[in-house]
Structure 1
Amino acid sequence: MRYTFKPDDCMVISIPLGSVRNMREGQLMPEKFTCIFKDTYKVFLKGRPKELGAAQLSIGAFVICIGFLIAFDYSLSHLVYTLPSALFIASGILTFAAGKSPFMPVVKLSFVFNIISLFWSIAAIVLCSLLNDRGNTFNSSTDDISKTRMFVGLKVVIGVLCGLELILALVLIYWESKAICRSHFNTLPMITIKQDV
């Protein structure tokens, strides 16, 4: 037979019973007992959301700054994959705010933004590698070669930063899912009764 309810160790209640020999009338059950509750928000805080949110915000600002450098020197088409990185900034602010206060709607909104940031970082890496400089045709002069190297170097930096954002978003999704995706149904507290001898 299958159990309808099962304990999930989210709440553990320990009730120490007095000794039957030393018991007076009405003294078997204690007035105080311990209850340990595993708070899912505290589990989320183990993932250090404030530090990771600040890192997301920094990566977003850095990618946008490098995107403007590339756009002004080479072609405005490169803003396509750098300007939407403002999503990293919004995600970082929400993650920092979620780590600052236990307000669950902020944690849920941060979770959604981190999922979107994960997909955007993948898309930005792909777009960064596909878009080339079409504004200038480089000849074999030393100035043009150094300009090409600078262009490739900046694109590599953007790719690495988007890869870091991808890793940060994955880590934050993992820890935020521990706070948000929890089972509400068919769970009971684990009750332990201990009797003194």
Structure 2
Amino acid sequence: MRYTFKPDDCMVISIPLGSLRNTRDGQLMPEKFTCVFKDTYKIFLKGRPKELGAAQLSVGVFLICIGSLVSVEYGASHLVYTLPSALFIASGLLTFAAGKSPLMAVVKLSFVFNIVSLFWSIAAIVLCPLLDEGSPFRHLGADERSRTSMFVGLKAVIGVLCGFEMILALVLIYWESKAVCRAHFNTLPLITIKQDV
């Protein structure tokens, strides 16, 4: 027969018993004992969500600024992979708010936004090298070479920032999953009884 309930490490209760030889009637059980409860939100806070949320916000703002420069100079088609980076800003704000207040609804919403941010950062990394320079104004000679090298450099910066955003989203998904994905039922506290000899 399988156990319906099994203890996990979410709550650990330690009860020190007195010595059987030295106890009087009713003195075996102590009046105070320790109970350690692992709060999943406190585990989430170990991942430093406020700092990571601020980094996400900064990366999103920086990506939109660079994307607007690229789109003004080299064509509006480059807004395809830079404008949706506003998702990183929203994700950063939600992550910062989740680290500030212990509301599980905010943590869950931040978890969903970070999953979407992860997939968008992967898509942006794939889309970034596919689009070429689309400027209708072609210059000749050294100007064209410097313009092309500037374009390649800006796209490399965008690719690196999207990669950094992907890493941030992965780290936040890991820590938020510790708070969001937890067992709600079929768990009992682990009780240890220590007896003095």
Q: Normalised by the size of structure 1, how large is the TM-score?
A: 0.96
Unaligned stretches of 5+ residues in structure 1 = none
Deviation per CA, 1:49-92, whole angstroms, max 9, x where unpaired?
A: 11111110010000000001011111011111111101001101
The whole-number CA distance in structure 1 between the counterparts of 2:112 and 2:128 is 24
Q: Is the 8 A contact 2:73 2:135 kept in 1?
A: no
The whole-number CA distance in structure 2 between the counterparts of 1:51 and 1:146 is 37
Q: Which residue of 1 aligns with 2:51?
A: 51
The whole-number CA distance in structure 1 between the counterparts of 2:119 and 2:36 is 38
Other structure's SS at 2:193 match: strand
Shift of 1:191: 0.2
Higher deviation after alignment, 126-135 or 81-90: 126-135
- Aligned letter for 1:29? M
Shift of 1:5: 1.3
Pairing of 1:71-150 with structure 2 (within 5 A): 71-136=71-136, 138=138, 140-150=140-150
Shift of 1:174: 0.5
Q: Is the 8 A contact 1:138 1:145 kept in 2?
A: no
Deviation per CA, 1:71-122, whole angstroms, max 9, x where unpaired?
A: 1111011111111101001101111111112111111111000000001101
Shift of 1:12: 0.4
- Aligned letter for 2:10? C
Shift of 1:2: 2.2
Deviation per CA, 1:119-178, whole angstroms, max 9, x where unpaired?
A: 110111111111112233645410111111111110110011000000110010001001
Q: Which residue of 2 aligns with 1:191?
A: 191
Other structure's SS at 1:130 match: coil
Q: Which residue of 2 aligns with 1:177?
A: 177
Other structure's SS at 1:185 match: coil
Q: Which residue of 2 aligns with 1:25?
A: 25
| Runs of 4+ with >6 A deviation | none
The whole-number CA distance in structure 2 between the counterparts of 1:147 and 1:136 is 13
Unaligned stretches of 5+ residues in structure 2 = none
The whole-number CA distance in structure 2 between the counterparts of 1:124 and 1:138 is 26
The whole-number CA distance in structure 2 between the counterparts of 1:51 and 1:75 is 34
Q: Is the 8 A contact 2:54 2:93 kept in 1?
A: yes
Q: Normalised by the size of structure 2, how large is the TM-score?
A: 0.96
The whole-number CA distance in structure 2 between the counterparts of 1:180 and 1:120 is 22
Q: Is the 8 A contact 2:108 2:180 kept in 1?
A: yes
The whole-number CA distance in structure 2 between the counterparts of 1:185 and 1:140 is 70
The whole-number CA distance in structure 2 between the counterparts of 1:185 and 1:129 is 48
Other structure's SS at 1:3 match: coil
The whole-number CA distance in structure 2 between the counterparts of 1:138 and 1:154 is 18
